[in-house]
Structure 1
Amino acid sequence: MDDHTRAAGRVLYLVVCAAPPARSIGELIILAQQGGWTVCVIATPRAASWIDTPDLIERTGYPVRSDYKHPDDPDVLPRADAVAVVPATFNTINKWAAGISDTFALGVLNEALGLGLPIVVAPYVKAALAAHPAFARSLGLLRDCGAIVTPTEAIRPAKEGEPFLWSAVVDVFSSK
């Protein structure tokens, strides 16, 4: 992340994992942009197949990254000022807390922790997975490292078919 270009204003890396809110992540991008953020989307490999990449490229003006670049290729994203992981899945949270960088998204998250960037994590997991002891340990470790973790249910709609509650995330990173 150190070699990236600078963009005007604040840059938010939005790491998107494969969970139902990923399909409407454009709504969160609009809210972040209204708050003055330049948004760059980084998707996990599975999430990349769930999202509307052309739409997100048009909304952000940047490519959606889901894989490492070749060493000779230039960095195409500006340097991040903050990171939001939305929706953050059980798998990503546990791998990230363990320091695993087997995807570009995890590599970005591990670097962000190392750089001390502000990070907001919005977990979106099934109740059975949230009850797994590794999940609580991983969230605790990420909090201890400075990440701000929203409650697991924070972005879930009150009823089926209602919109996701993006304000639970936007309110946190907008204050950064």
Structure 2
Amino acid sequence: MHAVDFVEVARSSGWDCHVIATPSGAAFADLDALEAASGHPVTTQHRKPGTPRRDRPKADAVVIAPATANTICKLAAGIADTYALDVASECVGLGIPTMVVPFANSALTGRAPFRRATTALIEEGVSFFEVPEHEPRHGGPLAERFPWLPAMTHAAELAERRRSGPEPAAAAPAASAGPRPRSSRIR
């Protein structure tokens, strides 16, 4: 609901933002405000066959926020049943710095599937910006304090580290790629 804050901070820092919303997120987000803040249409679905490709540059960083437990588990399992998850999965596979900013309740984050999902994503090089979990049915008031600015700062740091590091080697087939460097949780 407050993603416009993130986009405005990013734009004022010189970033070109392209917002991809899940269908669930699009149902309550102010898409007009997001489009005005980003200067680009908000994308929610795959393009139709035969339509031109979207004019979107290669990402320097990806921020998945606010990430529900469902989204985190699906991303880790490779389930790309929304356009947003499809793009996020590709970016993780391409090694583009990806940061997940969870917003989930303790009933979901305490379950084994969630713990396995976060571990798997960290092993793939995904960073997590830790947001305290909340009790079920108590997240609404906390949404007002979602850490958009600190998340943007850390995403920019991830992108800068990638830009200033050595050029990535050509991608090897998945079976022989080997483990990726572990990424820590960002607090």
User: Quick check: TM above 0.5?
Assistant: yes
Decide whether aligned partners of structure 1 residues 115 and 24 sit closer, same or farther in structure 2, where only a CA change above 3 A counts: same
Correspondence for 1:52: 30
Gap regions ≥5 residues in structure 2 = 134-138, 160-187
Q: Is the 8 A contact 1:35 1:174 kept in 2?
A: no
Correspondence for 1:90: 69
Q: What is the TM-score when the length of structure 2 is the normalising length?
A: 0.75
CA distance in 2, matches of 1:161, 1:97: 24
Correspondence for 2:128: 149
Q: Is the 8 A contact 1:83 1:119 kept in 2?
A: yes
Correspondence for 1:106: 85
Deviations 1:15-56 (A, max 9, x none): xxxxxxxx1110011111122211110001110111111111
Give the letter aligned to residue 172 of structure 1.
H
Q: Is the 8 A contact 1:90 1:123 kept in 2?
A: yes
Q: Is the 8 A contact 2:20 2:43 kept in 1?
A: yes
Correspondence for 2:3: 25
Q: Is the 8 A contact 2:3 2:148 kept in 1?
A: no
**Alpha-carbon shift at residue 162 of structure 1 (Å):** 4.9
CA distance in 1, matches of 2:129, 2:73: 16
Secondary structure of the 2:80 match is: coil
Gap regions ≥5 residues in structure 1 = 1-22
Query: Structure 1 residue aligned with 2:12, among 34, 37, 60?
Result: 34
CA distance in 1, matches of 2:75, 2:142: 30
CA distance in 1, matches of 2:29, 2:81: 21
CA distance in 1, matches of 2:115, 2:53: 35
Decide whether aligned partners of structure 1 residues 113 and 161 sit closer, same or farther in structure 2, where only a CA change above 3 A counts: closer
CA distance in 1, matches of 2:98, 2:144: 27
**Alpha-carbon shift at residue 73 of structure 1 (Å):** 1.5
**Alpha-carbon shift at residue 163 of structure 1 (Å):** 3.3
Q: Is the 8 A contact 1:40 1:62 kept in 2?
A: yes
Task: Decide which moves more: 67-76 or 87-96.
Answer: 67-76
The alignment-based identity, stated in percent, is 35
Secondary structure of the 2:63 match is: strand
CA distance in 1, matches of 2:77, 2:29: 26
1:134 is aligned to 2:123: no
Q: Is the 8 A contact 2:2 2:144 kept in 1?
A: no
Give the letter aligned to residue 43 of structure 1.
A
Correspondence for 1:172: 154
Q: What is the TM-score when the length of structure 1 is the normalising length?
A: 0.80
Decide whether aligned partners of structure 1 residues 172 and 49 sit closer, same or farther in structure 2, where only a CA change above 3 A counts: same
Secondary structure of the 1:43 match is: coil
Give the letter aligned to residue 54 of structure 1.
D
Secondary structure of the 2:28 match is: coil
Deviations 1:147-175 (A, max 9, x none): 11111328xx9x75853222331121121
**Alpha-carbon shift at residue 62 of structure 1 (Å):** 1.0
CA distance in 1, matches of 2:143, 2:88: 31
